[in-house]
Amino acid sequence: MSMITTSVITQKGGAGKTTLLASLAVAAAEAGEKVIALDLDPQASLATWGNERVAETLDIDQVGPDQLPNLKAILQALEREGYTYAFLDTAGVANASGAIAMAASDLILVPARPSRFDILATMSTIEAAIGMGMRDRFAFVLNQCPPGRNSRAGEAGKGLSLLGLLAEPTITQRADHQDALATGQGVTEYAPDGKAADEIRALWQWVQRKTKGKQG
């Protein structure tokens, strides 16, 4: 079975990139996948989260700047070890890790908050993906949306849909996400019966459907 690689990339700080990836990776592992999450970001937020983990449901490792040119070979070796999903936390396309991760990915998730500035900040990632011939491999995740029915989130979703594929569902801003990250957990572990957990599970199912057929 081929390993699926999904990267989470954004140029805008505070979009919830690492928090989203961590919980997605946990949800995938809970669904029965053999998961590894790789931290390509020099800030090493994902690796720090991994150091806080107690559960051994997935593996977390770092890929340093000197290892980045060998990312494809690293992923191939992980596939031979039996991993079925790899999640890459990157520093964005302005950093070398972003472009290298995109080239190695079956799916590129671009999180954005429902604001004009966040949406504009996605343009460099979109342009890079299109320039690499990967228009059909990226999708936006509308993240950290205000709770309840919100016109700003609705308008942002329409705008992102015009630019590319919009993943479902939108992710609401809830304290469970930050609290889970701080304790080395995914939100489905921290509050499994909460609304945040339900949204992450639904997003994982969307990712799974989107990448279906790529596991040979």
Q: Where are the domains of the chain?
A: 4-111+172-211
Q: C-alpha 138: how far from its chain's center?
A: 11
Report d(CA 37, CA 34) in Å as an integer: 10
pLDDT at 136: 77
| CATH level 2 (architecture), domain 4-111+172-211 | 3-Layer(aba) Sandwich (3.40)
Whether the pTM exceeds 0.95: the reply is no
The pLDDT of residue 132 is: 72
**For the chain, which residues score pLDDT lower than 50?**
none
pLDDT at 216: 55
Q: What is the pLDDT of residue 160?
A: 60
Q: What is the pLDDT of residue 90?
A: 87
Per-residue pLDDT at 99: 82
* Angle ∠(89,94,98) on CA atoms, nearest 5: 30
Residue 215 pLDDT: 61
Q: For residue 212, what pLDDT is reported?
A: 79
